[in-house]
Amino acid sequence: MLNHIILIGRLVRDPELRYLGNGTPVCNFTLAVERNYTNQQGERDVDFIRIVTWRKLAETCSHHLGKGRLVAAEGSLQISKSEKDGRIYTNPQVIANEVRFLDWPKDSQKGDSSGGNSAGDNFDVPF
């Protein structure tokens, strides 16, 4: 069986980095991903998908990404369910094992565009 997903979208807000009790870093961010087709009004609908990264990748994403950055996230889809006030909620998220930065940061965003990175650097970090 195969559970593999690749998404390309823009960060809705800055990533949130936290550390678990054992010191393991985990970073969460949300991607706005446009659908491939237009609706009846001629507009593209957008899905907001939560991305979770771990360890070195989490720290790299937290340090280099910011709101509005364009990225490709590759990983596996997990769907959990929770209950609140008698209602059941479905919570999809992608556990990313690779995040590829698809644009360069603006001066006002996280990261330093003058850091000597060549156009060929992808900032790929394995899980």
60: CB partners within 8 A, 6+ apart: 99, 123, 125
Q: Hey, where are the domains in the chain?
A: 5-92
Res. 115 pLDDT band, cuts 50 70 90: very low
Helix ranges, the chain (H): 55-64
User: Are the beta carbons of 34 and 8 closer than 8 angstroms?
Assistant: no
pTM of this structure = 0.77
Single-letter residue type at 100: R
Going from the C-alpha of 12 to that of each of 9, 22, 28, 41, 69, the distances in angstroms are 9, 29, 11, 23, 9
Query: For residue 114, is pLDDT > 70?
Result: no
CA 13 to chain CA centroid, Å, is 10
SS3 content of the chain, % helix, strand, coil (to 5): 10, 50, 40
Output the six-digit token pair for 59: 């720290």
41-80 pLDDT, tens digit per residue, is: 988 999 999 999 999 999 999 999 999 999 999 999 999 9
Output the six-digit token pair for 76: 């596996």
Res. 107 pLDDT band, cuts 50 70 90: low
Query: For residue 106, is pLDDT > 90?
Result: no
* Domain at 5-92, CATH class: mainly beta
8-45 pLDDT, tens digit per residue, is: 999 999 999 999 999 999 999 999 999 988 888 988 99
User: Are the beta carbons of 17 and 6 closer than 8 angstroms?
Assistant: no
